[in-house]
Each structure stands twice: as structure tokens, then as C-alpha cells.
Amino acid sequence: MNPPVVAATVAAAESPSGRLIWVILIGFAVLIAGLLAGYRAWRRKETALKNLPPDAPLARLFAIPAASPIAVGTTVGLLLLAILSSRVVAGDRYYTPSAAAWMAIGIICGILVLLFGKTFGTMASLLVQLPTDRPPTAKEAASVKVPGRGFGIFIELLAALIAVWAGVRFNVLSLGSEHTYVLGGWTIPLTVLWIFAATNIVKLLDGLQGAANVLLLLAGISIHYFTFGVPEYFLNALSVIIIAAAIASLRFNFYPARLALTGPGIALAGFLFAILTVLARQKTVTALLLIFPMIVVIILVGGAMLGMLERQMAPENDEKK
């Protein structure tokens, strides 16, 4: 290809219309990937139901497959964003294309840690505690200790640290044009604490089918609205990825849920919500951008309390999920 043609192609890709086309294509790929992953997980669940006892804890057994629409869709979108960062993120007022690609990879690593960290921890624990040269005795099998809540906290903190290490952090906290605070040395600990806290706030929605998905959708829409037309291309593209993944997941996680989003799936939704709010906090997007999703969380937490009460009064309905 001739140099003038190459230059014209790059210029078109970096123009507003060219960038918009790439973002739309990424969002469409996320939607398709999320729907396909959810459909496959749902079919696997339907097949497994034929061989499982009626009282099997389906929500726990299919916790990771239930998260596949969000996880697969978001991962595909972030990979495409990293690959196309020179076209999508070029001209961003905060991030270079290489920094944006690095953050996308870091978020993907955090997703993998949240989804599979506890599983690998349990497998490692079994390998350490059980003999490998012979079948374990009944006493040995009964004495096995699996990672508990403390290990789950470690996994969530590790995912937050990976994201912060990749560049997801707020160095400056802006609450309006007249109130700006430079965090300095508090940047890393406060960002990790925020991601961990926001993740666990969203986890309170466990049991409300589709609540976490709707929260992600609303947060993504609000951030996309405030970043559309301004040179914050990475955050804008990330919001499109979250919106598309949330829409795909609603097909399977919304009431009546074909796949109940719980455990690592809820943690993943909280992690992505936290990432969005962290990246928005370091911008001048205004405090409304942060307050609005948190108000939604507070409202949904009230519904979560009702959901918990319902499970206490009718536990048999929860076992059928």
C-alpha cells in the first residue's frame, strides 16, 4: 500500500467517525460473544440437570458458567480495545494507546483472578492435604479444609491490586471545579480500598436476579453519556463494552434467570462497577457521575434485604435455582 493511502487510512481511523465505527464494532462483538457464551452455559446446565439429583445446589454448581456472558463479553471487548488502542484511544487527554492497552490487559487479569482464583486455591489445597500416590481414606477426605472467606477476601484484594498496578487508579479526586484533591501517596491504597469496597457493596445484591446486571448497565450508560464527544476515548469505549456485556447477560441472568448470577459472578459485576467509578473519579465528569450509580446501589440494597428475607422464609425456592 502506498504511503499516502496508509496515512489517509490512519487519519480516517483516528477521526471521530472512524473511531465511532471501531467502538460500535467492539460493542457488537462484545454483545455476540456474551450471548454465545451465555447460551452455551445455559445448554450445559440443561444437559447437566438430567444427571443431577433434584436437591443439587444448582446456583453454586453453575456459579462460574452463569458469569460467562459478562466475563466472556467483557474479556473479548477488552482484548479488542487493547489491539485497536492506536485507533480507538489515540488523542485521549489522559491515556496513551499503550497505557490504555496495558489497563485493558490488567482488567482482564483481574477478571480471571476473580472467576478462577478460589477454584485454583481449592485445587492447590486438596493437592497439599491429600495423598497423590493412593486414594485418600475416608478420614483423610473428611479432614480436608478448603479455603474460606479469608481466601475470598485475598482474591478480591489481589484482583484490585492487579488493576491498580496496570494503571486503574485515581490520582486526583475532583468534586466539582472548585474542589480538587491530590491524593499523592494515598493513590494506591485508596484505590485498592475503593475497588474492594465497591465490589462487596454490589455483592449485597446476590439473590436479586438481574440487579447487578442492571446496575452495570446504568453505570455504563451514565459514564458513556458524560464522556461522549469529549477526548476521553478509553473510558468511553470501556463504557460501551460494559453496556454490551450487561445487555448480553440480562438475557440469562434477569428474572426468571436461566443462570443465577452468584458468587464469583456477583464479585465480577462489582469489580467492573468499581473499575468504572475509579476511572470516572479521576476525571472532571462531575460528582453526579459517581453519586447516581451509588444511589441505585442503595435502592437495590433495600431490595436485596427483601430478597434475603424471602430466602429465609422460603428456602426451598432458593435451592431450585
Domain around 79: 3-319
Q: Give the number of domains in the chain.
A: 1
Q: How large is the average pLDDT for residues 103-125?
A: 87
Say if residues 155 and 114 touch (Cβ distance below 8 Å).
Answer: yes
pTM of the complete model: 0.81
Lowest mean pLDDT, pick from 27-31, 93-97, 133-137, 314-318: 314-318
How much is the mean pLDDT over the chain? 79
Residue 8 has pLDDT above 70, yes or no: no
The model's pLDDT over 255-293, given as tens digits with 9 standing for 90+, comes to: 777 888 888 889 999 999 999 888 885 544 444 455 555
Say if residues 195 and 271 touch (Cβ distance below 8 Å).
Answer: yes
Please report, rounded to a whole number, the percentage of residues in the chain having pLDDT higher than 90.
33
Tell me 135's DSSP state: P
Distance CA 104, CA 234 (A): 9
Output the pLDDT for position 242. Answer: 96
Task: State the cell numbers at 192.
Answer: 485498592
Of 261 and 171, more confident: 261
Say if residues 22 and 84 touch (Cβ distance below 8 Å).
Answer: yes
Q: How large is the average pLDDT for residues 134-141?
A: 66
User: Which residue pairs, CB below 8 angstroms and at least 24 apart, start in 35-39?
Assistant: 35/69, 35/248, 35/251, 36/72, 37/68, 37/69, 37/71, 37/72, 37/73, 38/68, 38/69, 38/248, 38/249, 38/251, 38/252, 38/258, 38/259, 39/252
The model's pLDDT over 35-71, given as tens digits with 9 standing for 90+, comes to: 999 999 888 888 777 776 665 555 566 778 888 999 9
Q: Is residue 83 very low, low, confident or very high in pLDDT (cuts 50, 70, 90)?
A: very high
Output the pLDDT for position 285. Answer: 45
